[in-house]
Structure 1
């Protein structure tokens, strides 16, 4: 099955309020072409699951700046000042989640596992509840996280975390074939395979598009069964989240 389409075709019909898992870590491995296409669709009220939300003018920051995102499930606010401003002013709902837990919630969703127990977060507001999800304009907490079930295993307390399954998943790969088999480059493996597994409709942008049979099965990081659409995006601009320089000779 040839899954190669344009980005516009892959995201036709993306509805307001859709939930979307988005791969990447900082600005590494983000599906910039697909994010820009989502912006052009005009969809709003989006519920995003991603480690972070890019920076103010790149990555998911493009959607944040245009008030297209209503809720974020993530681990890191990072360098995005607008992300922090919207959350603290009550314009955006935010569920902060330990990074490893977020990764496992996505993987579990892709594997059909409804929930799992983990020791991460026990004894904190992650398990006990009370984390501010949304602030009111006056600075008070409008919505807070609920308490979660805990249980002891082997003498260690664990908290129950629910899996994540989203309407769409947007990911970026270094290479992919027309059947949707994907190869990720180095640290771009971060959240991309996990997000791809969690999406009901997964769209992958690939820098290099090859024909079926050209990929060595041993080098495939994500099989095409998880991918519905492949978008060839060979010339995507790459940016550095925070550039640090040192004077020559020092």
Structure 2
């Protein structure tokens, strides 16, 4: 048995005996170099209630070379790339390191609280403007109507349909994901880790301010457009589902 294989056997048995908080692992086809597992979303986070499957591939160079981690369940996170998997900040691992003290992959969720708060803020703002536009159409928001006229926006309030609370929450999550994707693209291979957390959080908050909903004329117009698109997409999905059910024997 090679030193790497011996070490992996020891770490695997340790994780099975004393499971790490939030996730568990098992061998794929009994191969000690290939692990699978599930990660449970933290409470009070965008991932709460979710279960995310992942895959870990080791090489003979472990622990000098870190393992490659990929999620097999779709997950939105700045440190996860759909093609290349989890972005690993470690080019090499200290000899004393193991999967437990490196917290792989649970350290991915270190921005959960900030992201959860963002989704909550977005949702509350969306609820406010969702009822504000119908008031605008009924002439109950005189100052806002004047501001919209001055801004030269199209009369988006004429054909606006209010969204339901579940639809507003879905939109809030989608907009937050857009902010996270902007930071992910700007990072270009860097990581959201403790060393530069302050800088990355500032970038995230800038993205949140850019994509987040607001009650300005342009913000209302943008929301009305998104709402219309969401409703149209919902109708299209219902028609497709209806058509597919009609094909069933």
Q: TM-score, normalised by structure 2?
A: 0.25
Looking at both structures, which has the greater relative contact order when contacts are Cα pairs under 8 Å and sequence separation is at least 6? 1
**Greater gyration radius:** 2
Greater helix fraction, Structure 1 or Structure 2: 2
Greater strand fraction, Structure 1 or Structure 2: 1
Q: TM-score, normalised by structure 1?
A: 0.25
